[in-house]
Structure 1
Amino acid sequence: MAPRVSNECLKRLHREAGWTLRQFVQAVNRVGTERGTPTKYQQPSAHQWLNGHVPKGETRPLVLEALGRRLHRPISYIDAGFPPPDDSSSGLGIVQELIELGRLDMDPSRRNVLNVGLFSVSAGIPQWQDTAERVVAVRSDGGRRIGAGEIAVIVSMTQKLSDLDYQYGGRGVRPSAAAFLVNIVAPCLSAPAHEEVRMGVLSAASDLCYLTGYMAIDEGLQGLGQRYYMKAMELAVSADDQVAYSLALHGMTSQALQLGHSGAALRLARTAAARADSIEHNARAFLAGQHAYASALTGDRRGALSLLREAETGMNRGEGSSKVVMGRYREAVMEFDTAQVKYGLKDLSGSVEALERYRELQGGGHRRRKVLDLSLLAERQLEFGHLEAACGTWNEVLDDYPFVQSGRADQKVAAIKPTLKPYVRNRVARDLYERVGSILPASGANRRGSPHTRHTAG
């Protein structure tokens, strides 16, 4: 038997990571646990991998993800010296892949498949030129000819779903969005149509994919949400829709930021910015605001403030986005981005002040948005030492919470009691502590959530 050849590619990555063998397997095990498939690898496994033993098929993505997080860049199978995956879906066209994704999301009996979805910092971003080559898959396969009416239906349905999601949360809305994608939108993508109509359908489908991904993230299904965002980007390229492509990148940037992957977020924000010159000013402002926050979290103060000024310029020059799922970048959103940038730059006082201005500008707002935004304000008020102000803000959160179906809102409210426990000698804090206890058993039982992520719909 020929001697096993060591994996020099993996060894280089291991050296760059600066890990011991124990740290290597611990990182892989953490990713496995997060994914829902816990692993218990020990140091000898890492030693074997480095010396040429190829990990099991289900382990390789965990290794790539662990390395990608450590090195703050995507790590491919080739980079790590692994054979390419045996992916039976790789030959599917965009339409068929969309149908498969939507069917997974529609079928409650297969929800266990969704729960292992993992947000991946190592996922490659669909590049414009590479993805454009797949447009050939989105062609007519016969059937009824479609026209502008089908575009109008998709756009109108997306608007209604977005309104419901924004008001109440994505848990009750997303199955309807997935069913609409599979049963109505997917057939339109491959139906006979004039080129202008076909491109319009592709663009509208991209917007709906983005919204469905956002709703998945609202429920805490991070990997599923990322897959929808990827599909939204591919459809946007097929439609030659730069705004939709950038919108999906914006969503992935926001997701990465709130999951704590600031390096991946900055990479995604830079990719979006590289294509921003050709899109409308208002959409460009959304991208700049998110880019500014990513820059702040990675220590680039000058770049963050410059990008924040760029967002303000785009706001003043823009008339509003053409995308129903984006809305208009306006002064309230600008204050939110300012609050995030200031927080990233360790200016807690400035962040609280900006969030308070944001609350005034938003007014009543939609309930889900209000619950999430006021929760963030309360957390920062408490961090700043304003306990009773934070309690007042949290009481506003609890007024709207019972009407919201959102995993993120569930997590925010569930965190109030443990956060307040050290302060229960204060009467105001104790009253709030007891109120949370009376609300959670009735409306918060068996709910799951995920970290706060900002919707771009103004």
Structure 2
Amino acid sequence: MGAADVHRAGVVADQFYANWIRFGGAHARGALASYLGDDIGGLLAQPVLPEVRVALVSVTARLAYILAGASADADLHGLAQRYHLLALDAAAEGGDDRTRAMTLRSMSVQALRMQAPRYAVELADAAVTAVGRTQAGDLRAFVLVQRAHARAVAGEHDDARRDLSAAERSLGRTASGDGPFARYSPAGFAYRSGQVLHRLGHVQPALAALRSAAETRAEHENCLRALSQARLALVLLDQGLIDEACLHGRLFATEYPALRSHRATLMSRELRARLARFRRHPGALDVLRILSALDQQPATAQH
């Protein structure tokens, strides 16, 4: 086992990440679990130079991070927790502070989804600490905007505003590198900051951020783009902007059938519930019927 094996594992990790953000976490999640257990487990059992092992363990941490996020998106939260802990252990062994910070941030996101905002703040705090005070750039923006979101949900609005401002100052300051483990996309930042702003009651800036997220997601980020469209549609419905909400609801419905994502399923259900209040509006009734038909299909991939 040598450097070529580590390089191959890194390429595979990027491929699995791309699969997750294109189709959702439930798509090929089992294949990723098998790859991590069989292929990577087999490599780790072999005798190897210390520096090669450190590099492989770092890739292992990234694979476990991806598998944790995919498991959460498949509504397998117990498994997600196990893989998060595996990612933290591997990151510690590999001296990979970046993946440690990303994993703690992912755990914070999961805690918010499980309606545990105080725990989410604690995890986000740990993620910010893992990045360190001196390191600016996209990683710092990535963890700070999540802490802002957790703090906003927890009612710590002043701290949330400070974190959001600090995240904005850090975004785009990464000197080099590319890919999901090097840079934070502006669309991803816009999506999360839009959630923060909406929670803080800044509706128009929130809409501007969510519109940016929906419009600028990369072509291959189908699942993330669908979630952005749905989130924007929900906020627009809250503001009574029904025509624009219906436009984005239809765009979500276009992406939705190809996804295997519990988050997308929950978004569809929430959209249907909100649209039902406006069923006298022809556009709202049309989107409601489309989503209802998709969710009633027995072979639909989301479930």
TM-score normalised by structure 1 residue count: 0.62
**Could you tell me how far apart the structure 1 residues matched to 2:28 and 2:275 are?**
32
**Could you tell me how far apart the structure 2 residues matched to 1:327 and 1:412 are?**
29
- Alpha-carbon shift at residue 437 of structure 1 (Å): 2.9
Q: Which amino acid aligns with 2:155?
A: G
> Aligned match of 2:86 in 212, 219, 231?
231
- Alpha-carbon shift at residue 340 of structure 1 (Å): 1.7
The reply on whether 1:287 has 2:143 as its aligned counterpart is: yes
What corresponds to 1:87 in structure 2? none
The reply on whether 1:269 has 2:98 as its aligned counterpart is: no
The reply on whether 1:326 has 2:181 as its aligned counterpart is: yes
What corresponds to 2:278 in structure 1? 423
Name which one, 1 or 2, has greater alpha-carbon Rg: 1
Moved more, 398-407 or 361-370: 361-370
**Could you tell me how far apart the structure 2 residues matched to 1:283 and 1:443 are?**
41
- Quick one: higher RCO (CA 8 Å, sep 6+), 1 or 2? 2
The reply on whether 1:183 has 2:19 as its aligned counterpart is: no
Aligned partner of residue 394 in structure 1, secondary structure: helix
* 1:435–1:316 distance in 2 versus 1, CA, 3 Å: closer
- Structure 1: give runs of 5+ residues left out of the alignment: 1-145, 449-458
- Alpha-carbon shift at residue 447 of structure 1 (Å): 4.6
> Aligned match of 1:309 in 145, 155, 165?
165
**Could you tell me how far apart the structure 1 residues matched to 2:21 and 2:10 are?**
16
Could you tell me whether the CA contact under 8 Å between 1:320 and 1:329 is conserved in 2?
no
- Alpha-carbon shift at residue 298 of structure 1 (Å): 2.3
- Alpha-carbon shift at residue 438 of structure 1 (Å): 2.9
Q: Which amino acid aligns with 1:195?
A: P
What corresponds to 1:112 in structure 2? none
The alignment-based identity, stated in percent, is 24
What corresponds to 1:350 in structure 2? 205
- Residue by residue, what CA displacement relative to the aligned partner does 1:193-245 show, whole Å, maximum 9, x if unpaired? 11110100100000000001111111111111111011100010011111111
> Aligned match of 2:264 in 391, 396, 409?
409
What corresponds to 2:236 in structure 1? 381
- Structure 2: give runs of 5+ residues left out of the alignment: none
The reply on whether 1:241 has 2:96 as its aligned counterpart is: yes
Could you tell me whether the CA contact under 8 Å between 1:220 and 1:407 is conserved in 2?
yes
Moved over 4 A (4+): 443-447
Could you tell me whether the CA contact under 8 Å between 1:410 and 1:444 is conserved in 2?
no
- Alpha-carbon shift at residue 327 of structure 1 (Å): 4.7
Give the aligned CA root-mean-square deviation in angstroms: 2.0
Q: Which amino acid aligns with 2:173?
A: R
- Residue by residue, what CA displacement relative to the aligned partner does 1:12-64 show, whole Å, maximum 9, x if unpaired? xxxxxxxxxxxxxxxxxxxxxxxxxxxxxxxxxxxxxxxxxxxxxxxxxxxxx
**Could you tell me how far apart the structure 1 residues matched to 2:11 and 2:244 are?**
41
Q: Which amino acid aligns with 2:157?
A: R
Q: Which amino acid aligns with 2:140?
A: R
**Could you tell me how far apart the structure 1 residues matched to 2:144 and 2:299 are?**
36
